[in-house]
Amino acid sequence: MPEWLLKDENYIPQSDKDAFITKSIHALLGLLSRIRAQSVHEDDGFRTNAVLKVAFTFMLVMLVSITKSFTFVIIIDVYLLVILSMMKGEEIFRVLKTSLFMSAFTFVILLPAAFLGNLFSGIMITSKVFTTVTAVNIISHSTRWNSITSALKRFFVPDIFILVTDITIKYIVMLGGFSLNMLYSLKLRSVGKNNKKYKSLSGIPGTMFIKSKEMAEDMYSAMECRGFTGEYRVVNRFRFTPADFIYIIINIGIAVIFLYMERV
Amino acid sequence: MHIPDNYFSPLTCAVMSAAMVPVWTISVKKVKTEISKAKMPLLGIGAAFSFLIMMFNVPLPGGTTGHAVGGTLLAILLGPFSACISITVALLIQALLFGDGGILSFGANCFNMAFVLPFLGYFIYKYVRDRSSSEKGELAGIALGSYCGINFSAFAAAIEFGVQPLFFHNAFGQPMYSPYPLSVTVPAMVIPHLLIVGGVEAVFTVAIYSFIKKVSPGSIYEGAKHKTKAVYGLIAALACLSPIGLLATGTAWGEWGIDELKDVTAGGKALGYVPEGMKNGFSFNAVMPDYAVKGLPDGAGYILSAVAGAAILLILFKMIRSMMKNNAKNITG
């Protein structure tokens, strides 16, 4: 047994700052898990048609933005809370996390105005932001994203645009996973103090870009092999279910309440 | 800089979206002629790239981190028109699927980040590059372009914010949307961008560009060979200032304050009086006395409060249960 093997080693690596790598990893992981989470649901009783959901969510956001009545905003809040209470616990967490964060941010921004005697807009805008962010997050958490994008067809969005959007979501996952691995290796290979880390950081998006070019070429070859001619057609069948019917009635009710409130 | 809904009035959102329509149309046409269908997937993948760029944190002095937007970088790498479409798609996904940035304010967000930022950044870069042959000149152009691009983008946003209280207030003169005037919004938005964000953007853009140029020089957008005339830069700069045009439109139709109402003309004649119902209308102090919600019959107010209470309890219950489930999972797993 050689002498050096028996010697105790106590190598303590110098501490180094790598918060930016950790934060980037967290951001990417959060993003990827969010995209993966949406591909599994659809079994939650919200069987309403995605086209209706998108259309009425847009209407809701619009009405809330126009209204001058605080009561109307509260009614919509209650309606959204009822919908939220029918969702799964983890989803409720995610929706509320975003909307509460956004409203808190808005409130802080509007605080100086409130001190200057403009309490009204502080409360009104904060609650409106809460309402609209919750509404959008509910639809995004309760619907598969590809049904949302294909629902856009009904709103005269060109098919090619929907194709691009679908490709984007797919490749956010692929490129995201790819750059996540690069970030991991940058973190793992920086033992002790590594001053070249900052330089390597620019290499990650750079490599990601080159990779994305290659992927685009590969993807086109694959598409052409399968008969892609530059035309793309989104098939969108529309079937009414009882849930859709109830959903339409509720939303007509909301529109009526809006008109009633604006009359006051 | 993703502006959520309700900071801007719906009218502003409509104006900004209308301003984006020609930009989108021209971009799509340009991309169709410049990019063969073979490169169409690149638009989607470029959008994914521009989405992910914002996920990268860069270290800032003082131990904090920030992230770059990468708009100019995309314009230099893919060309400004493709960059416009890619960023638009990325913003759409953020607004619709991630709830980040508003749906109504989507047009305004696109104007600031998918139009002003890449186009101005690109044209400044092109202007500098065409007038210098050295590599240093090129890098200086990139730094200047990305620095100016992000700052003008912030400036456009500040103007959009600042005009809100001028036009949109309720009958009591209280702003309905963002309450701060231009004198507050412009310094608040522009100073941090001039000092920090612009620097981050410039360093980030130059670093990534030089990396790609070194590793794979063939993959960078070439653009037209002829020299870009200074006039394009001027047009881009003017476009950035166009939100100022909002200043000239006066009070929005239908959103007059009481004092303005009697000057409203109907069929050539001034209204001349203030409608009685509007003179002593809604007072905010009385919105929720006890449980009764104003504008509703007492009974309905109680019912509304009860429904809200039940829903909140259900939400709390489900959240606690899912938390306990997670804890149990952590213990057993």
Same domain, B36 and B110: yes
Does residue B146 lie in a domain region? yes
Do residues B78 and B177 share a domain?
yes
Percentage of chain A with pLDDT > 70?
A: 94
Q: CA separation (Å) from B120 to A80, A174, B28, B51, B249?
A: 41, 31, 18, 20, 26
Inter-chain contact A209–B52, Cβ cutoff 8 Å?
A: no
Q: Which residue among B225, B249, B273 closes a domain?
A: B249
Give the residue, A42 or A183, on which the prediction is more confident. A183
A96 chain-B contacts, CB cut-off 8 A: 315, 319
Distant-in-sequence, close-in-space partners of A70: CB < 8 Å, separation ≥ 6: A123, A124, A127, B284, B287, B294
Q: Can you tell me the mean pLDDT for A59-72?
A: 87
What is the amino acid identity at position B256? Answer: W
Q: Which CATH number covers residue B187?
A: 1.10.1760.20
- Which residue of chain B is at minimal alpha-carbon distance from A183? B56
Q: Is A19's Cβ below 8 Å from some Cβ in B?
A: yes
Average pLDDT of adjacent 10-residue blocks, chain B of 333 residues: 81 84 83 69 82 76 70 87 88 84 87 90 88 83 91 88 77 73 81 83 87 79 52 51 45 42 46 46 40 57 70 75 73 58
**Mean pLDDT score, A199-226:** 84
Identify whether residues B292 and B243 lie together within a single domain.
no
Are both B199 and B295 inside the same structural domain?
Answer: no
pLDDT in tens, A130-151: 999 999 988 888 888 878 888 8
Q: Which residue of B has its CA nearest to A79?
A: B308
Residues B241, B142 share a domain: yes
Instruction: Out of A61-65, A113-117, A220-224, B246-250, pick the least confident.
Output: B246-250
Same-domain status, B159 and B291: no
Answer whether A188 touches B (CB < 8 Å).
no
Q: Is residue B244 included in any domain, yes or no?
A: yes
A172 in reach of chain B (CB within 8 A): yes
Nearest to A140 among B85, B99, B294 (CB): B99
What does the pLDDT average to over A80-109?
Answer: 87
Let me know if residue B277 belongs to a domain: no
Q: A209 and B212: CB-CB below 8 Å?
A: yes
* B197 & B123 share domain: yes
B179 and B318 share one domain:
no
Are residues B292 and B242 part of one domain?
no
Looking at the structure, tell me whether residues B120 and B71 fall in a common domain.
yes
Complex prediction ipTM: 0.82
Residue B266 lies in a domain: no
Nearest CA in chain A to B188: A109
**Is A207 in contact with A182 (CB distance < 8 Å)?**
yes
Chain B residues closer than 8 Å to A257 by CB: none
CB contact under 8 A, B99 and A198: no
* Chain B residues touching A205 at Cβ < 8 A: 52-53, 56, 70, 208
Q: Which of B315, B317, B321 to mutate to test the interface with A (most CBs of A within 10 A)?
A: B315
What is the value of pTM for the model shown?
0.76
Kindly state whether residue B67 falls inside one of the protein's structural domains: yes
Main-chain phi, psi angles of A200, to 5 degrees: -65, -30
pLDDT at site B281: 43
Give the structural domain span for B137. Answer: 10-249
Of A135, A129, A136, give the one whose Cα is nearest residue B178: A129
Whether B260 is in a domain gets the answer no
Residue B263 forms part of a structural domain: no
Note whether A142 contacts B: Cβ–Cβ < 8 A. Answer: no
Q: Answer yes or no: do A96 and B294 touch at CB < 8 A.
A: no
- pLDDT of A23: 84
- Using the Cβ of A50 and the Cβ atoms of chain B, whether some distance falls under 8 Å is answered with no
Q: Is A78 on the interface with B (CB under 8 A)?
A: yes
Q: Which residue of B has its CA nearest to A174?
A: B48
CB atoms within 10 A of CB B159: 22
Task: Judge if B313 and B188 occupy the same domain.
Answer: no
Q: Do B212 and A206 touch (CB under 8 A)?
A: yes
Are the C-beta atoms of B128 and B89 separated by less than 8 Å? no
**Residue written as token pair 């002003």:** B116
Q: What integer pLDDT is reported at residue B256 of this predicted model?
A: 43
- Residue-level pLDDT at A33: 84
Whether B292 and B241 map to the same domain: the answer is no
* Long-range contacts of residues A107-115, Cβ cutoff 8 Å, at least 24 apart: A110/B179, A113/B179, A113/B180
For residue A213, list chain B residues with Cβ-Cβ distance below 8 A: 42, 45, 216, 219
Residue A137 CA, distance from chain mean position:
8
Residue B259 lies in a domain: no
pLDDT at A116 over 80: no
pLDDT in the model for residue A243: 82
| Overall number of domains in chain B | 2
Chain A (150-169) residues lying within 8 Å, Cβ to Cβ, of chain B? 160-161, 163-169
What does the alpha-carbon distance between residue B167 and residue A18 come to, in Å, rounded to a whole number? 47
